[in-house]
Amino acid sequence: MLEALFTYRFLQNALIAGLLASVVCGIVGVIIVEKKLIMMSGGIAHTAYGGVGFGYLIGIEPIIGAFLFSVASAFGVGYVKRKGSVQSDVLIGLFWSLGMALGILFIALTPGYPPDMNSYLFGNILSVTRSDLYLMIVLTVIVVAVITVFFQLWKVYLFDDEFSQIIGIRSTIMEYILLVLVALTIVVLIRVAGIILVLALLTAPAASAGLFSKNLKSRMILAIGFGMLFCISGLAVSYVLNIASGASIVIISVVFYFIASMIKGVLFK
């Protein structure tokens, strides 16, 4: 595996993609786990499928379509949720189903032979291209910059919405920003874990980090480290056994969380 890494460009691209994905899912994952926005993130993720189909239909890069639909979905979810006219679980289900249905419709309307959607649904880190990497780098820099520059505000926002409003922090704006960051993170993760499995990669490293630390910054750093461990080991397993990369990464991450939680439960009863 190590020798092949220095030989094949696609493995180098896959490794870089895994590291970038680990950074964003480690940072944003901790926030959405803390704010209990996991299923809402899943709704945004599945809306991205409509964007992939739309990209194929109009002839643009599918990942760009996923980006546009994810961001639009983030604003839509945030607006309807804030208005309070629809229950959150109903809203999530509607966006979840709508995104998948639009993806199927757009693919059906695309002229010619229908494209293979498996890499977008289930991930294929070994098929990441240079153009994918450039987009992932830009989105990762944006996510890291927004979290780092306003880190103290995020700490207050996570602590208490009402308290943040009292001291002058606009929780509505913070929530919109968070949902957009989730959308950007999902776009970064699509090529690694796929739309179907992206929720696990967003959750498992952050949840694992939460078992070992309650400090926000430490949890983010730990989650990034766990994400890198899961992605690299999953990539190695995928390459050696010739199995789906997204599935192997997610299985390793989820199994690690369950083992870590059981060990903690036994040692700290």
The pLDDT of residue 255 is 92
DSSP 112: S
Beta strand segments in 143-220, E: none
Domain spans in the chain, listed from the N-terminal domain onward: 2-267
Q: What is the pLDDT along the chain (269 residues), one digit of tens a residue?
A: 556 555 667 778 888 888 888 898 889 888 888 888 787 788 888 888 888 889 888 888 888 888 888 888 888 877 776 666 556 677 777 878 888 898 889 988 888 777 777 777 777 777 787 887 888 888 889 988 988 888 888 877 777 666 666 666 677 777 788 888 888 888 888 877 777 778 888 889 999 998 888 888 899 999 999 999 998 888 888 878 887 777 888 889 999 999 988 887 777 65
Nearest to 29 by CA among 223, 260, 259: 223
Measuring CA to CA, how many Å separate 160 from each of 20, 153, 164, 167, 212?
30, 11, 6, 11, 22
Q: How many helices (H) and strands (E) does the chain have?
A: 12, 0
- The answer for residues whose C-beta is within 8 angstroms of residue 166's C-beta and 6 or more apart is none
3-state DSSP assignment of residue 117 = coil
∠ CA 66-67-73, nearest 5°, is: 85
Give yes or no for a contact between 116 and 213, defined as CB atoms under 8 angstroms apart: no
- The answer for residues whose C-beta is within 8 angstroms of residue 11's C-beta and 6 or more apart is 4, 5, 126, 235, 239
* DSSP string of 63-111, one letter each residue: HHHHHHHHHHHHHHHHHHHHHTSS-HHHHHHHHHHHHHHHHHHHHHHSS
CATH architecture of 2-267: Orthogonal Bundle (1.10)
The CA distance from 52 to 145, in Å, is: 26
